[in-house]
Amino acid sequence: MGWTKSTRRKLSLLIITAILCTFLTFIFLLYTERITTISRFKLNCPKRNSADDRALESDSIDNPGDDILDFDPDECSVNHGKWMFNSLIKPLYTDRTCPYIDKQYSCIKNGRKDSYYLHWEWKPDDCMLPRFDPEVALQKLQGKRLMFVGDSLQRNQWISFICLVESVIPKDKKSMKRGRVHSVFKAKEYDATIEFYWAPFLVESNTDIPIKSDPKQRIIKVDSISQRAKNWLGADILVFNTYVWWMSGLKTKALWGEFENGEEGYEELETAVSYRVALRTWANWIDSTIDPSKTKVFFTTMSPSHQKNKEWGNVNGIRCFNETRPVTKKGHWGTGSNKEMMNVVASVMRRMKVPVTVLNVTQLSEYRIDAHTSIYGELQGKLLTNEQRADPLHFADCIHWCLPGVPDTWNQLLFAYL
């Protein structure tokens, strides 16, 4: 059956209207030369399916408007999100441009060939993290002492923070003084210091300096902290961590009171029990000593190790060796992160009087099997030999992180909270 004149007339009008709208839109774009303004300019044209346009907008990783969104720590759950690959990311530093990176963390410099691990951004589900701005960070530190306290992973984060800011400081306006226990980076024109204090258990032990490589020889003085904590006084921002040194076995040797009789008198306790006692000792010192109106206190949660490749489905792999992409399974959690220890941290923090901001880096770091130093680091202060690199089962470091890398995201969180 043929179309009526009325139907043909309506169809013609629709076609003419569509052509006219397309023409007007084209003229408008030529005039403004800004495609982005079209969302604010509405023509009364027949609607078309814009699902593809919305998809492109939502998938845009490098949205220049992201940074102006407010970050509300009370509303944003930073541990829920995903890593997004962005080939346009250019790290603020490299392991060749930053002179302060230990060889232990200099993966590219030490021979790592792939660089995919440098191009992943952490995107929380319900907020937008502000990008790390070196000049703004230094302005926030004007006249202040920022001190990281903890183990080698805390040193990982400390060096990351220095490298993120040092490039905007003139050469004659910065300095570094390294010590076995206490190291200080100075940004002179800002009258600011970024410091690191070596305290792998936070409380005292017989293994800090010199380090006892055999965990069976380590004894932790779980009720004593004052001798080292006196060095933390006067800091305006304190960032603590302690975890990996506790995980050398099911039990730890704990001691109360003075070290006497050749360190005899210790008790073997379940690791979580010793950890709780030590954290309470630390918490009591914070509550009795720190004035929260003068000092901000942060605690970085456990950094996961990735020793068991079967946990993320790579049955033919060797620990974290040769991994080039993060785990994509939502909520992935391996045995390298101990939930019992995580619960100890939460329960101790709840009872504290002084507010402590928890930098929850565990879940976001759990996905990053690709970003460890692996065979591109050091062993006892020396780079791995070719023979050792050929044996990743025994020599790959699946605990520490390459720099630039994951600790930069930890500092992005710290920057947001500052």
Candidate list 80, 102, 115, 152, residue with the active-site label: 152
Candidate list 151, 337, 400, 408, residue with the active-site label: 400
- Name residue, tokens 């720099």: 403
Residue 117 backbone phi and psi in degrees, to 5 = -65, -15
**The amino acid at 160:** S
Q: How far apart are CA 361 and CA 157, in angstroms?
A: 11
DSSP for 374-393, please give it.
ETSSEETTEEPPHHHHT-HH
Count of all residues that appear for the chain in the document: 418
Helix (H, G, I), strand (E, B) or coil at 144: coil
Chain centroid, CA 410 distance in Å = 2
Say whether the peptide bond before residue 170 is cis (omega within 30 degrees of 0).
no
Q: How far apart are CA 198 and CA 205, in angstroms?
A: 12
Candidate list 95, 151, 370, 397, residue with the active-site label: 397
Residue 213 backbone phi and psi in degrees, to 5 = -70, -25
Half-sphere exposure of 149 (CA within 13 A, CB side): 24
Q: Is 152 a catalytic residue?
A: yes
Q: Is 62 a catalytic residue?
A: no
Q: Are 31 and 376 in contact (CB under 8 A)?
A: no
Q: How far apart are CA 92 and CA 123, in angstroms?
A: 18
Q: From the CA atom positions of the chain, what is the Rg in Å?
A: 27
Helix (H) or strand (E) holding 192: strand 192-198
Q: Is 397 a catalytic residue?
A: yes
Active site positions, annotated: 152, 397, 400
